[in-house]
Amino acid sequence: MDPHVFASKTFDYIIVGGGTAGLTVASRLAEDENIEVGVIEAGDARLDDPLINIPANTGQTMGNPTYDWGFMTTPQVGANGRSFPSARVLG
């Protein structure tokens, strides 16, 4: 959505962060048709980008400042101590 259009709307809830958790919360809130939910994300919405939509292309986004903030998560216990790059896109 165009930022100017977004800014002109009124929302009941604004979710800060368009990652999996933020989008899950937004989706659940939006199940109530009487509630307006907006999601803001620092990264771009690359909805038609094949590097995002095709899982085999994920490796091409890592380390690329267009897609990656350039820092890693803390080691994840559930991932055998591995760290992951922090994405810079919606979704």
For residue 3, pLDDT over 70 is answered with yes
- Global pTM? 0.62
pLDDT tens across 30-60, in order? 999 999 999 998 877 788 899 988 999 988 9
Name the burial class of residue 75, with classes exposed (0-12), middle (13-18) and buried (19+) by CB atoms within 10 angstroms of its CB: exposed
- Residue 91 pLDDT class (50, 70, 90 cuts): low
**Contact criterion met (CB below 8 Å) for 39 and 50:** no
